Structure 1
Amino acid sequence: RNLPKHYWGDAVLTNAYLINRMPSRVLNGRTPRSLLSGSHQPFLLPPRVFDCLCFIHDHSPNVKKLDPWSIKGVFVGYSPTQKRYRCLDPTVGRVYVTRDVTFLEHAL
């Protein structure tokens, strides 16, 4: 998939999110986040592959019983303020912030 260039800032933020939560030899196996905040829980959400295919559950009240319940999207990062994923709907350019997502990380 080829994300537009203005989403590559999200790639950098996602990288920083993951690096800050991974143990480092320099820090004797501790994470940078645990040193700064005292938190020992490395990941609030399971790590995901950037730019992977995902399906966002549609919670809008307009969805009827036989309508599609998901929106095809692309994973673009983690929310900085909530325990949620950021997923892009490339057809309309909208970014959804949600936890109700199914990821297909190994799909082409």
Structure 2
Amino acid sequence: MGLFFARKNDALLEFITFCKKVQNKKGFMITRICSDHGGKFENTKFKQFCDTHGYLHEFSCPRTPQQNVVVERKNRTLSEMARVMLNQFSLPRYLWAEAVNTACYILNRVLIRPISKKTPYELWFDRTPNVSYFKIFGCKCFILNTKDNLSKFDENVDEGKFLGYAAKSKGYRVFNKRTMIIEESINVKFDELNQHLDDDDNVDIIVPSIATAKPSHKDAKPSHQTSDEPPSKEAGTRNLETTPKEMRFLANHQRTW
């Protein structure tokens, strides 16, 4: 479970909510808490809450993260996953929170605990998770515009980037390139098949190969048409066959991101 706080004071409220969920859903009682000396944990209000409910609050020694090894190792795993997810499509660094949230969402549904042989999702909800709706983070997507008042012939689809899964609804979190905001929607189509084309179609690499490409003497034939005459159907077919592969790639795959 991963949470992001706008203010450090929100940590206590989120912890209280988590304690109630554990007690109501699983019937467990929390007895011990281990954390570092961060200001969001080491303060008067947090101490009063732990003392009131009988929680033993232990702290790791300063500059000794190995004493809180479970949390520290999980943070490293999430950070490494988020870094790879962002770099795969060269996404901006300010989307790091979306990447970490998605990484945590995935791990909770695919990571098998060695003792129980179950995923964290299965331990919490008592059912096997469904992963058939998983999508590639950062892939191109198309969002149905259901918010604006559109006429019959207006464009009703916006292009965007997939950023994760909604926390409180069955929807996807996507970045809308037209409105420049992150929104949640279920009416999304994904383009995962061409995920590598946005990264591999480097113009600096492809263009020199086109410039140095030479037509084959076997396919070269003299043309008897003048410049004023339109090309025949056979000539158009022959030109398509002799067009370099890279040139056809550029013509059919325009860079849009």
TM-score range, shorter chain: 0.7 to 0.9
Q: Is the 8 A contact 2:113 2:119 kept in 1?
A: no
SS across alignment from 2:110:
coil
Q: Is the 8 A contact 1:44 1:83 kept in 2?
A: no
- In structure 2, the partner of 1:13 is 101
CA spacing shift, 1:64–1:45, aligned 2, 3 Å: farther
SS across alignment from 2:182:
strand
Amino acid corresponding to residue 86 of structure 1 in structure 2: R
Task: State the TM-score, normalizing by the size of structure 1.
Answer: 0.85
1:95 to 182, 188, 191: 182
- In structure 2, the partner of 1:38 is 125
Task: State the TM-score, normalizing by the size of structure 2.
Answer: 0.38
Which structure has more relative contact order (CA 8 Å, sep 6+)? It is 1
> Structure 1 stretch 71-80 or stretch 58-67: which is displaced more?
58-67
CA spacing shift, 1:63–1:45, aligned 2, 3 Å: farther
Task: Please state if 1:24 is matched with 2:112.
Answer: yes
> Structure 1 stretch 48-57 or stretch 78-87: which is displaced more?
78-87
CA spacing shift, 1:15–1:66, aligned 2, 3 Å: same
Q: CA deviation at 1:56?
A: 0.4
SS across alignment from 1:20:
helix
Deviation track 1:79-108 (CA, whole Å, cap 9, x = no partner) reads 111111000013442112011100001223
Deviation track 1:61-93 (CA, whole Å, cap 9, x = no partner) reads 421111111100000011111111000013442
Q: CA deviation at 1:34?
A: 1.3
Identity %: 31
Structure 2 unmatched ranges of 5 or more? 1-88, 198-257
Structure 1 unmatched ranges of 5 or more? none
Deviation track 1:7-43 (CA, whole Å, cap 9, x = no partner) reads 12211110110110115161554211111x2331413
CA distance in 2, matches of 1:28, 1:77: 28
Question: Which has more helix, going by share of residues?
Answer: 2
Q: CA deviation at 1:58?
A: 0.5
Count of aligned residue pairs for this structure pair: 107
RMSD of aligned alpha carbons: 2.0
Please list every run of at least 4 consecutive aligned residues from structure 1 whose deviation after the TM superposition is greater than 3 angstroms.
none
Q: Counterparts in 2 of 1:43-54, with a 5 A limit?
A: 43=130, 46-54=133-141
